[in-house]
Structure 1
Amino acid sequence: MTGNIENQQGPRHKRDLTRRKVVVAGVGAAVAVGAGATLAAGAFAGETKAKGGGTSATGTATGAEACYKLTSETTEGPYYIDADKLRRDITEDKEGIPLTLGIKVIDSETCEPLRDAAVDIWHCDALGIYSGYESLSTGGGGGGAPTGAPSGTPTGTPTGEPPTGAPSGGTDGGGMHEEPTDDERYLRGTWRTDKQGRVTFRTIFPGWYRGRCVHIHTKVHVDGEWTDAGYEGGHTCHTGQFFFDEESVLASAEVAPYSTSTTERTTLTEDTIYDQSGTQGGLLTLKYDKKNIAKGVQASITVGVDPEATHDGTDDAVQPGASATASATASAS
């Protein structure tokens, strides 16, 4: 992968450029690896029942696709590690329900896809643990029935605004960055959008931890350069999170290892980061067998961004629902 990012809208003024670099993690890092990849790749064969509509996890659209509003910006959270691995399969050896996540990135004003953008995702494992921060994470599990299993009415749910500082074993609500405490990097990855603005990741359905609903973090970087070494330069035009509806989370809680969690859970409506605005706020469209979610889940979303803006998610002033309204004109994809 070499060459400069192609500017789909003509020359743009480069504002607030920040230096960043992706280093390819060894030979074969750009392809799916490991047993987890094999499981995820075959997880959706014969799927007959689905929840929701819209685009599939691979990003295939049917008919015209509406031009979306700007997707909500959120805080980066304390557990971001700058583009540590260039790969689409981020599962490594983590156990969990296979998840294929299809993301389409578009310019929210013109509806044009953003080609060659670098998209990061990262999230906790099935028991709420983040790689690189295992000693700070607040998830956990054990044998027997979970005492804080999801019920729709969890106890001990935090209220009020998210904390502004980094948690000490915390809740991922604030924007203060923590330095990694270990060398693990599972469930983290960066990949390049294609000419249709699409990128697909293979991972597992995230678990939950104290103070937050189930979610995946994301960043979109533009105006950088793809080289043999990876991705350099540019700026971050979007920092956000993707969310899962309650029905899917409750279904996942019946499947091991999620069912072994002893951690109290915050519901989607109680979360202090999700702005309750549906797709604009990062709510994913999900498809899975209602009778057997363990077979795997397909998730998809279109992310509308302002490619000229800088949103690195480290400003405490960035709060849920801070995004502005853009064009709602229909456009063929």
Structure 2
Amino acid sequence: MTDTQTPEDRGTLARRTVLVAGGVAVTAAGVGTALATGASAEEGGPKPGAPEDTCYTLTSELVEGPYYIDADKIRRDVTEDQEGVPLALRLKVIDAETCKPVRNAAVDIWHCNATGVYSGYEDMGSGGGGGGPTGPPPTDTPTGTPTGTPTGGPPPGGGHQEPTDDERYLRGTWRTDRHGEVTFRTVFPGWYQGRCVHIHVKVHVDGTWTDAGYEGGHACHTGQLFFDEKSVLLSAEVEPYASNTTTRVTLDEDSIYPDNGHAGGLLYLKYDRRHFARGVHGRLTLEVATDETNDG
């Protein structure tokens, strides 16, 4: 999906988004090989000869979700020991008012693994926070009024949950460079009950980088990054994704995706259809309102 507008149309916009239109220059182990075979596919890619940055609409703010853990790991490679298709994710952060790169911002990403489990919340299992009931179904008619706190996990996109363990795979925070860019090495996410395949992202500005990490400032953007159906179907043919028996929600069925293409977080993807397991490049430019607080 590619938005096209005339100069007159662009002049009437109150907010603008910059979408990266150049080639992907990042690599991750196993990713570059897949794209060197001449059979690569770029979904929603820019037209040849397009300028590197073109302003459109403000990137959508979306719910933070229940599984955010604040700046726990300052790193670009978040893979740890997780299996899955290698994903090189390049994000560029642009100021909404000036369309200039935002330097020294702290960008967080976090997502589930190939079987739908979030680190820090492994007890929740795969399914928006709960593994569901086990054992034979009840035969008696329910009586009385329920009391206490409900269990079984939050609904998709629900309120924050406290971590249940010390695992932190597929989570990380890194600093944007002078071009406003940051690159993460991770794996293609899996899926869990109630949600399509996605990655969470948060951008912090006006803070200070110290030896301990990033301190102060505020979150100016909280969003989610999405994958087109073609790429997800290809991932489902590869282990360990193929062993995930959870019913998958498609992008069109998802209750959180705003259905507005790249402005809503839909990634540009590049991969070899014949050798998808070797790796994927994902990229997007996020236009943020740096003077606003959007913490999800």
TM-score where L is the length of structure 1: 0.70
What is the CA distance between 1:46 and its match in structure 2?
1.7
**What does residue 205 of structure 1 align with?**
188
**What does residue 244 of structure 1 align with?**
227
1:85-105 C-alpha deviation (Å, 9 max, x unpaired): 000000000000000000000
Q: Give me the identity figure in percent.
A: 63
1:71-123 C-alpha deviation (Å, 9 max, x unpaired): 11111111000010000000000000000000000012211010000000000
**Aligned CA distance change for structure 1 residues 279 and 299 (closer, same or farther; 3 Å):** same
1:253-304 C-alpha deviation (Å, 9 max, x unpaired): 0000000111001110010000100001000000000112101000000101
**What does residue 34 of structure 1 align with?**
none
Q: 1:277 aligns with which of 238, 260, 268?
A: 260
Structure 2's unaligned 5+ residue stretches are 1-26, 129-148
Could you tell me how far apart the structure 1 residues matched to 2:187 and 2:234 are? 14
Q: How many residues align?
A: 247
Structure 1's unaligned 5+ residue stretches are 1-36, 56-60, 141-164, 314-333
Amino acid at match of 1:169: G
1:105-157 C-alpha deviation (Å, 9 max, x unpaired): 001221101000000000000000000001113259xxxxxxxxxxxxxxxxx
Could you tell me how far apart the structure 2 residues matched to 1:64 and 1:190 are? 25
- Of stretches 82-91 and 129-138 in structure 1, the one that deviates more from structure 2 is 129-138
Could you tell me how far apart the structure 2 residues matched to 1:285 and 1:167 are? 37
Could you tell me how far apart the structure 2 residues matched to 1:166 and 1:238 are? 31
What is the CA distance between 1:53 and its match in structure 2?
5.5
Could you tell me how far apart the structure 1 residues matched to 2:58 and 2:246 are? 33
Could you tell me how far apart the structure 1 residues matched to 2:50 and 2:57 are? 19
Q: Is the 8 A contact 2:34 2:276 kept in 1?
A: no
**What does residue 227 of structure 1 align with?**
210
CA-atom RMSD in angstroms: 2.2
Could you tell me how far apart the structure 2 residues matched to 1:181 and 1:203 are? 22
What aligned pairs does 1:165-180 form with structure 2 within 5 A after superposition?
A: 168-174=152-158, 176-180=159-163
Amino acid at match of 1:39: A
Q: Kindly name which structure, 1 or 2, has the bigger radius of gyration based on alpha carbons.
A: 2
Matched, 1:265 2:256: no
Q: Is the 8 A contact 1:68 1:304 kept in 2?
A: no
Matched, 1:120 2:108: yes
What is the CA distance between 1:50 and its match in structure 2?
1.8
Q: 1:217 aligns with which of 200, 205, 209?
A: 200
What is the CA distance between 1:69 and its match in structure 2?
1.7
**Aligned CA distance change for structure 1 residues 116 and 167 (closer, same or farther; 3 Å):** farther
Q: Is the 8 A contact 1:40 1:100 kept in 2?
A: no
Which structure dedicates a bigger proportion of its chain to strand?
2
Q: 2:57 aligns with which of 49, 69, 85?
A: 69
Q: Is the 8 A contact 1:138 1:171 kept in 2?
A: no
Amino acid at match of 2:42: K
Name the SS of the counterpart of 1:247 in structure 2. Answer: helix
TM-score where L is the length of structure 2: 0.79
**Aligned CA distance change for structure 1 residues 136 and 311 (closer, same or farther; 3 Å):** same
